[in-house]
Each structure stands twice: as structure tokens, then as C-alpha cells.
Structure 1
Amino acid sequence: MTLPVTFVEVAAVRRITPRAARVTFEAAALDDTVGGAPDQQVKLCFPRPGQAEPVLPAQGDDPMGWYQAYLAIPEAERPLMRSFTVRRRVPGTRRIEIDFVLHGDTGPASAWALRAEPGDRLGMVGPSELYARQVPLAEAAATADWILLAGDESALPAIATLAGALPAGVRALAFVEVADESERQPLDGPADLTVRWLYRGGARPGVVLTEAVRAAELPAGTPFAWLAGEADAVRALRRYLVGERGVPKIFVDFSGYWRYRLTQDDAPTAEDLADAQEKLTMS
């Protein structure tokens, strides 16, 4: 299994909401499969201060060997790596669009996006089968009675691609928590999709989302649930759906994209490790 590794260069940056930026990247090399499926994950590698571009090992056929080579780079030079969803592939080009949540200088990705300009370069790893969905969307839509999508603004790019890929005739319900009404984005597609926008205000991230799903009168039948966003909220929603609603575990695709008051560079908690282990046993 080859792990694609390439450099990408900023071609354009534009604000799509007050707290989100869409960056168009031109890739040095881009496989035809990139942008061909919804919820497609890549990892972006950000240069350290003083570097014009990140230091990266060359592409190889052994993903674990590549990652070990990445870890062998001295920490002061090793790029910071973060996961993102491919929002769109510009047809007929090597250009892709990726959305960034702008939450100030509290993380390397947000800080970079606030200052990004055409010509800036990042590394990109993937997409790869290693990051692929647990259950293909077409299989989920054909098997379940309806589709549940739930997440915060960090999950909006993935939710948008999923909404666009659901076929006509499929019933879907999306719960999306954002800071306020100005952060709403279009969610379009051929499916019978109802979107419930939730505004966080001053609440802790994920609380409004969790309470809204628990209080909702959900459609009858067994849903396929896709959950992503703040890790504690995703965990709580999954436990509710499986434990109280009786949704089979295999019908819940879940990802804790970020952790409240913790960074991706902080050590995983016991619950983080348990979630990772369960995803491995389900794959």
C-alpha cells in the first residue's frame, strides 16, 4: 500500500464565513482518486518557524516505514501534522480546496491559515486506505432506514461532501453546531436532507449538539450515524445512540477530530485510546 506524499502550494485564499477560510492548493502530484469520494481525509504538514516548506521523507510503499522516517526527523525540524477533509477537487486540475476553522493563534493550522498567501507551501500525506471510511457511504445508504449526520464546524467540510454524495430518495437528518448564525454554510445534494443548525453561544463546544440530538424526535427505523467533531461530544452521542437508541455499533461511524482544552500534540487520554482500539476492531 503506497502512502502518497506530495507538496501543495497555495493558489488562493478566501473567507467563506467570519471563522472559516477556504484554501485552494495546487499539488505537485495528485492521484486521480483524490476528490472522488466524500469524507476523504488527508494530512497537511506545516513547516516549523524559519522553514520555507516542511521537511518530509520521500513517498514509499510502506506507510508505517514512512511514519517512522517522519518521527526520526529531529523534533525542532519535524513538521506539525493535522488531518483535514478534501472539500472539493477542481475538475480537470491538480487543485483541491480545503476549509480551515479559524480559532486564532491557538493551533498551528489556524495560525497558518490566518496568514496564508499564494505561494505558501505545505506537505500533504494521503489520501490513503488507512484513513478510509469504516462503512462506504453507498452501503450505508442502502442498508439503513435513514442517515444521521452530526458534528460541529470542524466536521462541516465532511458533512458537506457527504450531503452532496447521498443519492436521491435517501432520508437524512443533519445536526450542525456552530458559533452563531453567521457560520452557516450551504449543504446541498439530491437526498431528502433536513439540516438543524445549532448555535453554541457561550456554551462549551459539543454541549448544544449533544443535547439537541438527545432531545430530538428522530425518524423511525435504524439509522446509519456519522459523528465527528469535539471528542467528548462524539463519545457522548455514540454512547446515546448505541446504549439508549439500540443502534448497532457497526452503524455508527465516529471520529473525535479535536479535544476541548487539549491539542493533537498532547498525550491521548484513556478514553481516546479506548475509542481508537474499538475502531480498529470494527475495521
Structure 2
Amino acid sequence: MAELPVTFIQVTDITRVTPRMARVTFEADRLDDSVGLAPDQQLKLCFPRPGQERPLLPEQSDDTTGWYQAFLAIPEDERPWMRSFTLRRRVPGTNTVEIDFVLHGDTGPAGAWAASARPGDRLGMVGPSALYAGPVPLTDSIASADWLLIAGDETALPAIGTLLEALPERTRAQVYVEVAGHAERQTFQTAGDVALHWLHRDGTQAGRSEVLIDAVRGAEFPPGRPFAWLAGEAGVVRTLRRHLVNDRGLDRRAVNFSGYWRFKLTQDDAPTADDMAEAQERLAEYRAASDGWS
């Protein structure tokens, strides 16, 4: 089994990409050479409890189950808050990484930390690791398709940025991104043939907006076999996936989907019945994908 990488990271710089997106640059105590070489690398950040200069974490271990058991054994009032993120960029040849934070204006541990973060602040980082990836590499699935469909909200923008920047030359992609308003648009460097559609909520609350769903449902797809990548609010992602499989006829194995967050719920809340059903579907499809998708 792959080792679960665990390290501490320290803030060195903070910039505003948009009014609601902060890019935080960190220096990691240690970092595997493979980190940052592929798009859409998932990781966990661990945030300190009040009064802690850095989060309390077990040592890195090649026993993943044992590490999580040790993490859960930390008293609840001392155990770090853990949240999922995407690595936005690693500076080549260094231990410097960039991670983007959506500033919701709420009091959740990640958003509150990012709103007040300063150089020198320290977090824990678990991953990136092959343990978080499916058996079939995402880049292989994209390369096997005739074109790529990407859809997500602002929480998916860091991953979308890595995907677009990694596209091979002339790879066709239709991209639909839901954001709060015009000021939240970003620019990306890509060699792909990309049609990027920005969708604005303009006052509608994230997670209740239908603009992303409506845009994908109403889209005229190019000819050929697509590979779809979906991420954002879990209910929206489930709706889009059902549309692509049931209405558009996509093979289930040709849809990579992730519910990054849940409307009115946090990662600390118990999973819903829909969450459990989604997890079972993802597990079944990862097992099927291990036989190859071509």
C-alpha cells in the first residue's frame, strides 16, 4: 500500500485571485518528488484548534488505517479540523505549493482561517497521494475520449485550472463554470481547444442555483465520445451525472464526479442517504474501471 504523506506547511504569501478566491503559497517541510506532476491532485489540510500554533498530528506512516486511527484518537477539542482541497500548483524543483481558498464569508474553519491567514501560519497537509486517486489515471481517460466536458462551481476552479493547463495541444474541451458574478472569472493558459462558459449566479445562493444544471442540459454537444469531469455541490453533481448517463447516453465509466461540498452541511456532518449511495456508486465504478476504459 502507498505511504500516506503527512507534513507541515507554512504560509509564505497570500494573494487575491478574485474578490472571493485567495491563493495561499506554502513551504512544505517535506514533499514527495511526484507531487504536482499531474492535474487534479487531492489532499487534506488540517487546521489548528484555538490556542494551537500548529495542528496536532500523528507522524507520517505507511499504515494508512493506523494513521487515521491515531488521528481520531486525539481528543476532540485538540483534534484538527480536516478539509479537502486540490493542489493548484507546485513550484518545480522546490517544496513550494499553492492552494486556492474560496472565501465564503462564513465561519467554517477553512474559510475563517483563510480570511485571517498571515505569513508564518502553519497547517498540516495529508497527501497528495495515489491513495486518493482511482485506478485509471484521469489523464489516460481524457486522452481516450474525442472531447472533454468539464462542469463545476467555484470550489472546482482550482482543479479545473490544473486540468486546462495540462491539456494536450488541440484537445477539445467544453467547460461550464458557475461563479457568484463577473468579478470571479479567472484566466488560464492552455494548449487545448477550449470553449469556456462562465455562468453567474448574480445573488442566488450557491447550492441552490440551477444555472450550471440548465447550461449543461441545454448545451449542444460536439460529435464524438466525451469524457466528463464534474465537481462542486454534491446535489448539483448528482443531477448532472444522472443527466449525462440517462439522457445523453454516456457510459458511467466516462463520468468522473466529485461532490466537494453539501448545501447546509459540512464535512463534519454525518453522510446522508444520497451521500452513501454516491459513495457506493463511485466504489463500484472504480472497481469496473480497473478493468480498463477504452
**1:117 pairs with 2:125:** no
Give the conservation status (yes or no) of the 8 Å contact 1:3–1:128: yes
Aligned-pair RMSD on alpha carbons? 1.1
Q: Runs ≥4 in structure 1, deviation > 4 angstroms?
A: none
Q: CA deviation at 1:142?
A: 2.5
Q: Which residue of 2 aligns with 1:244?
A: 247
**1:95 pairs with 2:70:** no
Q: CA deviation at 1:128?
A: 1.1
- Residues in 2 aligned to 1:215 and 1:282: alpha-carbon distance in whole angstroms: 27
Structure 2: gaps (5+ residues):
287-294
Distance 1:135 1:152, change over 3 A: farther
Give the conservation status (yes or no) of the 8 Å contact 1:39–1:133: no
Q: Which residue of 1 aligns with 2:276?
A: 273
- Residues in 2 aligned to 1:215 and 1:202: alpha-carbon distance in whole angstroms: 22
1:1-283, aligned counterparts within 5 Å?
1-133=2-134, 135-205=136-206, 206-283=209-286
Give the conservation status (yes or no) of the 8 Å contact 1:137–1:166: no
- Residues in 2 aligned to 1:105 and 1:219: alpha-carbon distance in whole angstroms: 39
Q: CA deviation at 1:137?
A: 3.2
Give the conservation status (yes or no) of the 8 Å contact 1:141–1:170: no
Give the conservation status (yes or no) of the 8 Å contact 1:3–1:62: yes
- Residues in 1 aligned to 2:277 and 2:79: alpha-carbon distance in whole angstroms: 28
How many pairs are equivalent?
Answer: 283
Give the conservation status (yes or no) of the 8 Å contact 1:149–1:174: yes
- Residues in 2 aligned to 1:7 and 1:278: alpha-carbon distance in whole angstroms: 34
Q: CA deviation at 1:203?
A: 2.5
TM-score for the superposition, normalised by structure 2: 0.94
- 1:141-167 superposed Cα distances (whole Å, 9 cap, x missing partner): 332121001000000000000001110
Q: CA deviation at 1:217?
A: 1.0
Q: Which residue of 1 aligns with 2:289?
A: none
Q: CA deviation at 1:188?
A: 2.2
Give the conservation status (yes or no) of the 8 Å contact 1:176–1:198: yes
DSSP-derived class of the 2:128 partner: coil
Distance 1:275 1:177, change over 3 A: same
- Residues in 1 aligned to 2:249 and 2:107: alpha-carbon distance in whole angstroms: 38
Q: Which residue of 1 aligns with 2:290?
A: none
DSSP-derived class of the 2:165 partner: helix
Q: CA deviation at 1:34?
A: 1.0
The letter of the residue matching 1:131 is Y
The letter of the residue matching 1:223 is P
Q: CA deviation at 1:133?
A: 4.5
Q: CA deviation at 1:196?
A: 0.2
- Residues in 2 aligned to 1:42 and 1:85: alpha-carbon distance in whole angstroms: 6
Give the conservation status (yes or no) of the 8 Å contact 1:42–1:126: yes
Give the conservation status (yes or no) of the 8 Å contact 1:135–1:253: no
TM-score for the superposition, normalised by structure 1: 0.97
- 1:19-69 superposed Cα distances (whole Å, 9 cap, x missing partner): 010000000001111111100011000001111110000011111111111
Q: CA deviation at 1:215?
A: 0.9
Over the matched positions of the two proteins, sequence identity in percent amounts to 65
Q: CA deviation at 1:134?
A: 5.6
- Residues in 1 aligned to 2:95 and 2:198: alpha-carbon distance in whole angstroms: 33
